[in-house]
């Protein structure tokens, strides 16, 4: 993957990883909602329910972490910064969707926590990707 901007940032990869992480978060929510509906308790997984908040927080961290690892295989440096930007792209996508649907930027406080967890997932994913990259380079040099 080639750098498309200053300082070696791989913007195409960042945008793809951020988009796919956010799509994955939505897909998990829809699967939980479908499962709850099939079980006869759709209110269990409705937006802003306890399950929705738990899912939003867990999947926000995990999906950004995983897609940062994916991106980390395609870059050579700046792993943590790339991860933070993957999380930021997810935040922008979700916030844009909320604005488009509600006409407001207002979000429940736990969604804001989930946004923070997207950034944290990107940081941790970047650290792990950096460690993996260092290990690969060490093995290749021996």
For 87-140, write each residue's pLDDT tens digit. 999 999 999 999 999 999 999 999 999 999 999 999 999 999 999 988 877 777
Residue 3 has pLDDT above 80, yes or no: no
For 9-42, the pLDDT digits (tens) are 999 999 999 999 999 999 999 999 999 999 999 8
Tokens (6 digits) for 44: 């269990």
Q: What is the pLDDT of residue 141?
A: 78
Neighbours of 101 (CB within 10 A): 8
Residue 5 has pLDDT above 50, yes or no: no
- Give the total residue count for the chain: 142
pTM of the predicted model as reported, rounded to 2 decimal places: 0.89
Where do the domains of the chain lie? 8-141
* Residue 42 DSSP SS3: helix
Tokens (6 digits) for 3: 């750098």
Tokens (6 digits) for 77: 């440096």
For 41-85, the pLDDT digits (tens) are 989 888 899 999 999 999 999 999 999 999 999 999 999 999 999
Q: d(Cα 110, Cα 66) in Å, to the nearest integer?
A: 21
For residue 1, name the pLDDT band (cuts at 50, 70, 90).
very low
Between 26 and 4, name the one with better pLDDT.
26
Q: What is the pLDDT of residue 7?
A: 65
Q: What is the pLDDT of residue 10?
A: 96
């Amino acid at each position: 993957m080639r750098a498309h901007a200053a300082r070696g940032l791989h913007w195409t990869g960042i945008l793809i990883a951020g988009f796919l992480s956010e799509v994955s978060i939505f897909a998990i929510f829809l699967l939980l909602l479908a499962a709850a509906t099939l079980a006869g308790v759709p209110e269990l997984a409705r937006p802003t329910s306890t399950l929705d908040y738990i899912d939003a927080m867990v999947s926000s961290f995990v999906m950004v972490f995983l897609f940062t690892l994916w991106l980390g295989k395609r870059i050579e440096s700046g792993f943590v910064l790339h991860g933070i930007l993957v999380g930021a792209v997810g935040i922008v996508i979700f916030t844009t969707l909320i604005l488009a649907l509600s006409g407001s930027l207002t979000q429940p406080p736990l969604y804001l926590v989930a946004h923070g967890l997207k950034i944290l997932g990107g940081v941790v994913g970047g650290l792990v990707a950096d460690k993996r990259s260092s290990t690969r380079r060490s093995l290749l040099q021996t």
